[in-house]
Amino acid sequence: MEKETKKFRIITQYIKDLSFENKLAIDHKASKVKPEPNFKLDIKTASLGNSIYEVSLVCNVDAKIENETVYIIELIYCGICSVSSDSEIELKNYLYSKVPAFIYPYARRIISSLTMDSNFPTINIGPIYFEEIKSEDIDIDQ
């Protein structure tokens, strides 16, 4: 019986960049009104050579009260993975679906904890179904 080789493996994951700007503290203001967060997510990929890729979730939160920014969170959370595939569609599936699905819960937890630890109401960002992204519509960053 032939040994089956893995086509995909997460090597490591880490915070590449994290920024939290509390506008209320900077302006010496306080508010009892709950801010309305606006969450945006982008996926960036980079080939590191030898079938190793970096997948970055670029997360931005801009929370406002009455159209005034209260806080801004910028998080780049990355996963380094090994992908063995001869198919470009399969490679895109791993880089834009499987890796983000694996690392996204960690990014969500970081953002949630950060808001809670800063005396703001915790943000509960919902799940994202990365597998619904169509592989044919994705250009791989080189």
Q: What is the Cβ-side half-sphere exposure of residue 45, based on CA atoms within 13 angstroms?
A: 23
Q: What is the pLDDT of residue 45?
A: 96
Element (H, E) at 12: strand 8-22
User: Is 24 within 8 Å of 91 (Cβ atoms)?
Assistant: no
Does 49 fall in a domain? yes
Q: How far apart are CA 89 and CA 136, in angstroms?
A: 7
Torsion of CA 51, 42, 102, 11, to 10 degrees: 30
Does 26 fall in a domain? yes
User: Is 57 within 8 Å of 107 (Cβ atoms)?
Assistant: yes
**Model confidence at 142: pLDDT above 50:** no
Amino acid at 14: Y
67-81, 83-97, 126-140: least confidently modelled range: 126-140
User: Is 31 within 8 Å of 65 (Cβ atoms)?
Assistant: yes
Does 131 fall in a domain? no
Average pLDDT of every residue of the chain:
87
Q: What is the pLDDT of residue 30?
A: 65
Which DSSP state fits 64? E
Does 141 fall in a domain? no
For residue 80, what are the domain limits?
8-119
Does 35 fall in a domain? yes
Q: How far apart are CA 73 and CA 60, in angstroms?
A: 6
* Domain CATH for 113: 3.10.420.10
* Number of domains within the chain: 1
Does 80 fall in a domain? yes
More confident residue, 42 or 30: 42
pLDDT digit string, tens, across residues 44-57: 999 999 999 999 99
Q: What is the pLDDT of residue 74?
A: 98
Does 59 fall in a domain? yes
Q: How far apart are CA 77 and CA 96, in angstroms?
A: 14
User: Is 38 within 8 Å of 111 (Cβ atoms)?
Assistant: no
**Model confidence at 65: pLDDT above 70:** yes
